[in-house]
Chains A and B, each alone.
Chain A
Amino acid sequence: MNATALILMITVQVTVTGFTAYFFYRVLTSAPEPDSYAEDKPDEQ
């Protein structure tokens, strides 16, 4: 691969992977509102 292509590929793929991981991490660590999701309901746990 030529250097320009390699740089663009790595930059784009690392950036997209980074954003995907970051946003998914935020989803996992943000506390949902009570009763928002069925699995969060105390009577169903």
Chain B
Amino acid sequence: MANDNSTQQWGSRVGLILAMAGNAVGLGNFLRFPEQAIQNGGGAFIIPYIVCFLLMGIPLLWIEWSMGRFGGKFGHHSTPFILDTMDKKRLWKYFGVFGIFTNLAVAAYYCYVESWTLSYVLHSILGTFIGMNQTQVANFFNTYVTIGKSTFGIPYEAVVFYIICLVINTSILAKGLEGVEKVAKIGMPLLLMFGAFLAVRGLTLGTSGASPAHPTASAWAGLNFLWTPQPGTLANPKVWLAAAGQIFFTLSVGMGTVHCYAAYVKSNDDIALNAVSAGFMNEFVEIVLGSLIVIPIAAGYLGLGWLKHHAGFGIAFQTMPYLFSHWGPFLAAVAGVMWFGLLFFAGITSSLAMGTPWMGFMQDEFNWGRKKSAWSFGAVILILGLPTVFFYNLGVFSEYDYWAGTVSLVVFALAESILFAWIFGMDKGWKEINEGGDIKVPEIYKYIIKFITPLLLLFVFFGSLLKPLNNDWKLAFHNLFTGNGWTLDNSSIIKQVMQSGLREKLAAATDPSIIHHLRQVLFYTGAARILLTATFFGICAMVYVAYVKRVREGRA
């Protein structure tokens, strides 16, 4: 089909690599990685993490790049019909729906976080955080995400920044790959520069941040905890599951964005080298820069004990501005701009990637123009995203993150690895990976992709589905083999479906205000599920209509 999408191409190879790396480098590199490392034994986490990168991350990148380029040969730029070209069974194109759905649902709440970074850059420049103590900085964030309260004096400030962020994303997407590439070429070098500045500060902080309130605070203690190997914990499936999960999020595999970007690569062009280059660039940002900012700086001022108890997403917004304020007004503003600026660039290069599968689908299947596709993406995100803004404190944001940003990725990656290695066939798949390659992929990866990667993905899927109580696998297996059954944790997929944790809290609550709050959470998370399910089936219906249209036009 001749539309402006079929003539689009990447401007340069470096632009493509930076856009792909930008897609992978996200907020998780700086926020989720340190959190996972802290919660999974520090030094115990790094080794499984690297093993999972080599056995699951890199293979998945090759799978997705080659699937994308293969589909692109037939003029497909989104996963439903990319998967359809690899096997004609009808089912696959509906699995491909995950490659659009996940992006819409994740972009909806991801743009909200992105809008926080934008707002915090402005607040850092204006010196809002100067003179605030730790509690005040933390409360500032709570005020920001409470609709009706304002930090700038703008009514519905969080909504306004969210819409600004959405308009920025959509305007760039309306320029097509050229716009995406331009942002990557500017954003990625800036991100590396900002990250390097903060990492040097983290690495050189030492014990200079200790204070009477935190006399034992030391950046070295944080780095010690992160990097001291603990061989004993390598036998714990919990650590391996966390490491494998982190590889998913950090590389943005299982989303459909890599397929979409790769679909614009010419059929005789390299993907083998491109994929590892973009993958390692992401790892550089995560392992080198990501490990040297939050952990040493937070441990350097507040101590390792505090960090272990408070590791999480919130540190970025609720604590970092307070820590920067120790550096004096000028450096605090510079560090704030750099920290939230790098998070903004990490976020926008990922959210732009999330827009392209929807655009590719609308352009390929319904002949929509680039601008119309981009603005329709913005409109869908606005509808899906506003509930996460308005009901952030009522669990809607977390609900999206869990189902779209966690479970869907694993399901889709598992399906695509089986399709690629076992149905499309490993011989054809191997030929696809190596076609036009500027490097020779080691032969051993043929077997890793066929056997190890799907097995690891099955391990991740069933590990999440059947997560035992308190994530204690040793005890769970002991109980199972001694006839005491398998007790699921409330964070397992099965218990999450039933909202067991929330219902238990509700049953145990006696305070009327807590009961009222929990009932509201139950209602809004239920509504969020309905919205997500409707979105998924809505896309399924669009794929069906597109398929019927193809049959009518003799293109199926």
A residues with CB within 8 A of B: 1-2, 4-6, 8-9, 12-13, 16-17, 19-20, 23-24, 26-28, 30, 32-33, 35-40
- Interface status of B556 (Cβ within 8 A of chain A): no
- Known contacts A8-B229, A33-B268, A39-B12; is-contact A16 B223 (Cβ 8 Å): no
Sampled A-B contacts (9; CB under 8 Å): A5-B43, A12-B227, A16-B280, A16-B283, A16-B287, A17-B288, A33-B436, A36-B265, A40-B12
Q: Could you tell me the distance in whole angstroms from the C-beta of A32 to the nearest C-beta in chain B?
A: 5
Grouping DSSP codes into helix (H, G, I), strand (E, B) and loop, the B interface class, with mixed when no group exceeds half, is helix
Q: Could you tell me the distance in whole angstroms from the C-beta of A18 to the nearest C-beta in chain B?
A: 9
- Known contacts A20-B280, A24-B281; is-contact A2 B228 (Cβ 8 Å): yes
A32 touches B269 (CB 8 A): yes
**What's the Cα separation between A2 and B218 when bound, in Å?**
13
**What's the Cα separation between A2 and B442 when bound, in Å?**
36
Q: Which residues of A contact B9 (CB under 8 A)?
A: 36-38
Q: A12-B50, A23-B280 are in contact. List 7 more A-B contacts (CB 8 A).
A: A20-B283, A26-B438, A27-B274, A35-B266, A37-B10, A39-B11, A39-B15
B268 touches A17 (CB 8 A): no
- Known contacts A2-B224, A5-B228, A9-B227; is-contact A30 B281 (Cβ 8 Å): no
**What's the Cα separation between A36 and B268 when bound, in Å?**
8
Q: Which residues of B contact A36 (CB under 8 A)?
A: 9, 13, 265-266, 268-269
A9 touches B50 (CB 8 A): no
Q: Could you tell me the distance in whole angstroms from the C-beta of A17 to the nearest C-beta in chain B?
A: 6
- Interface status of B270 (Cβ within 8 A of chain A): yes
B14 touches A27 (CB 8 A): yes
Which one, B266, B284, B436, contacts A20 given CB within 8 A? B284
Q: Which residues of A contact B229 (CB under 8 A)?
A: 4-5, 8
Q: Could you tell me the distance in whole angstroms from the C-beta of B546 to the nearest C-beta in chain A?
A: 28
A1 touches B223 (CB 8 A): yes
Q: Which residues of A contact B500 (CB under 8 A)?
A: none
Closest to A9 in B: B227
- Known contacts A30-B438, A37-B11, A39-B11; is-contact A4 B228 (Cβ 8 Å): yes
Q: Could you tell me the distance in whole angstroms from the C-beta of A20 to the nearest C-beta in chain B?
A: 4
B224 touches A5 (CB 8 A): yes
Q: Which residues of A contact B514 (CB under 8 A)?
A: none
- Known contacts A4-B228, A27-B14; is-contact A16 B269 (Cβ 8 Å): no
Q: Which residues of B contact A26 (CB under 8 A)?
A: 273, 277, 438-439
Q: Which residues of B contact A27 (CB under 8 A)?
A: 13-14, 17, 273-274, 277, 438
- Interface status of B46 (Cβ within 8 A of chain A): yes
Which one, A12, A17, A23, contacts B273 given CB within 8 A? A23
Q: Which 4 residue pairs across A and B have the least CB separation, nearest first?
A: A5-B227, A23-B277, A9-B227, A20-B284
